[in-house]
Amino acid sequence: MALVVTSYIHLKIKARMPHNHPTLINKRVLLGITGGIAAYKTPDLVRKLAELGAQVRIVMSRGAEQFVTPLALQAVSGHIPHNAQMTAESESGMGHIDLARWADIVLIAPATANFIAQLNQGSGHDLLTTVCLATTASVVVSPAMNQQMWKNSTTAENVASLIERGVAFLGPDSGEQACGDVGPGRMLQPQDLAQQLAGLFQTRELEGKHVMLTAGPTWEAIDPVRGITNHSSGKMGYALAEAAAEAGAHVTLVSGPTSLTAPVNVKTIHVRSAAEMHAAVFADIAEQDIFIGVAAVADYRPVDSSDQKIKKNHDEMTILMTKNPDILADVAALKKPPFCVGFAAETNDVETYARAKLERKKLDLIVANHVGGSETGFGSDDNIITLITSSSKQDLPRASKSQLARHIVSRVAELST
């Protein structure tokens, strides 16, 4: 593990207690708008999604621009909407792939009968349909059409086929329509749609379980202003804490010093050093069903830490180091250990080192990833990981850390039952 000598202000141990309600905080919502009259509601929908904490990007079909202007959507989202065309300029960096990777969830609202048919056929004739084909995120459809079109057997077959393939449908609502008809086919109201979308992240896979995680770096003081740490941002651990809470678990996050906001619905305990992290973990480990050690804990700490700032009086300086406690190994070695998950962040021979760590520490699951690249690993929003047990291996493609966190939680739920 690379060590970085830097300066940091001492953090006192404190806890943020959970508030149990669904949100879209830290969720990336890609909103696809198709050419239905209900598109006039989408500026309000963007506002409602943002109020729940979502980051929103927008892709408009050609027809959508006949009902709502890109300028209005830019004003409420803070970002220029993408249009249907895949131009040479927009695709110079494979724009549709970037959008597909960026999204935690793709919401099509309103979704016309024509778009639903195209989605079912696997069409990729414009940017929106291409993104739906390229994304690994969940695709959610909010239908909006005439009541007879919704009842049409072809539409029903398209909807049933998409549901079977994992596409979620929110709505339609029923009532008076723009054409004067009354019946099912109205797009859900923006407030209801935003709330139901947030609810889709509440999987309940770990309902009632107690989960503890560690995240971020540790800080080993040399003197009051200098210390030894590493490049961990804490993003993966915080994403896992959020995903575990969304899965219904009672989550405790023990975090080293990061710049991240404590997750909602999570009890967060802030610590500084490896020793403080060890103490915080073992203060409550007996109550835990699952332990996930994501933190990049410093392997060593200075034997002596000066009470005063050390002056530059010499050309050389020697710091005697001693080993820190191995938190993950100590948890796994308990007489009745929880289900234990470790992380192996390596610069080379990733799988070899990860398997060795899995066996040496007697873990149930290890998450291996390559660090040191510019697009994945420490500090980045994306990652590429492999889930390894003693008898299985699952490679997950590059995706956002929040998407990967939900995959990891699902695998943990499957293995720990």
CB 184 within 8 A of CB 151: yes
Contact residues for 95 (Cβ-Cβ < 8 A; gap 6+): 82, 86, 127
Contact residues for 212 (Cβ-Cβ < 8 A; gap 6+): 251, 252, 253, 254, 281, 284, 285, 288, 290, 291, 292, 338
Pairing verdict, β 365-370 and 339-346: parallel
The structure tokens listed for 191 are 């407030």
Burial of 29 (0-12, 13-18, 19+ CB in 10 A): buried
Sole residue written with tokens 């109201």: 189
Q: How far is CA 285 from the centre of its chain?
A: 25
Cα 241 to Cα 405: distance, rounded to the nearest angstrom: 8
CB 343 within 8 A of CB 297: no
Catalytic residue set: 179
Cα 253 to Cα 232: distance, rounded to the nearest angstrom: 16
Cα 86 to Cα 97: distance, rounded to the nearest angstrom: 11
